[in-house]
Amino acid sequence: MLFLKKHGLSRTKIYKLWKTMRLKCYGSNVDTRYKGKDLWICSEWKEDPVTFVKWAKQNGYKEGLELVRKDKDDGFYPENCVFLEKKETSKTHGMRWSRLYRIWTLMKQRCVNQDLNYYDRYGGRGVSVCDEWMEFEAFAMWAMENGYKDDLSIDRINVDGNYEPKNCKWSTDVQQQRNKRNNHFITIKGETKTIAEWAEISGLPYKTLQRRIYTGCKEEHLLSPIGSQYKHIEINGEKKPLSVWAKEAELPYSTIKRRYEKGIRGDDLLKRGRLNKNPEEQMSFDL
């Protein structure tokens, strides 16, 4: 294909359309090609973008339109192709309001929409969506053939790589957290792991561990069962469950629990009314 250097189309959108069409049919990964290995392009378009561009301009091509096959079970050739607006082509897959369609839309937005708060972690770092997945149907087919489920999210294997078949998989929330660039590592009894890994080992929710860490919970209590660190609280030499202290003081359990989490101890836990804020008290944790 030496002539590719001479056609002058490399930076045009219509040339990208031709490349996308070829990827659907002859992409390097046979398993993730659109319609598998059965989709084809006529000989006059397959190796010659100039011929395709000439046909496109004579048959209604405009920026913003999509190239669509009239017969979805047939290939790309002049008599079977037409240009339609995106809102018309979206009717063909019937998944516009599905979870998978939202995943596809957000995936693209992360890479191109500079107004998003987290754009700098994706498009701002050079992460992009491959040409093949710029069409939803190709992405949906890959998803269904590679383990998509409603409780999984798309995850890049190499966090510095692009959204493309060879670099993506479907993962649980815990697996996604393990793969983050800014992972928080915690050492417990001399063993260092990410919060997500400790959550998986202990069976505790990821957010529970995260909250305990951020509120100053001591290492020995990080993996305690939910609620166990509040079972017996000492006040004036007596140890009772936090719920019993709340009942005896005729205060809501949530009030005493919130005070305890803020570092308040002793008789102040049982006082009625709003407590005066004491910075030194508020920051003294003893979990």
Choice between 108 and 179, residue whose per-residue pLDDT is larger:
108
pLDDT in tens, 228-259: 555 567 888 887 777 778 888 888 877 888 88
Spatial distance between the Cα atoms of 136 and 138, rounded to a whole number of angstroms = 5
Count of H-run helices and E-run strands, the chain: 12, 8
Phi then psi dihedrals of residue 87, to 5 deg: -65, -25
Q: Are 52 and 76 in contact (CB under 8 A)?
A: no
Q: Can you give the pLDDT at residue 284? A: 35
Spatial distance between the Cα atoms of 2 and 152, rounded to a whole number of angstroms = 44
Average pLDDT, integer, range 274-278: 61
Choose the most confident range, by mean pLDDT, from 82-86, 158-162, 252-256: 158-162
DSSP reduced 3-state for 163: strand
pTM listed for this prediction: 0.38
Please choose, from the candidates 183, 143, 140, the residue with its C-alpha nearest in 3D space to the C-alpha of residue 159. Answer: 183
Per-chain mean pLDDT for the chain: 78
Please choose, from the candidates 132, 152, 129, the residue with its C-alpha nearest in 3D space to the C-alpha of residue 142. Answer: 132
pLDDT in tens, 36-59: 456 789 988 988 899 999 999 888
Beta bridge partners of 235: 238
Q: pLDDT tier at 1 (50, 70, 90 boundaries)?
A: very low
Q: pLDDT at residue 286 above 50?
A: no
Q: Can you give the pLDDT at residue 173? A: 65
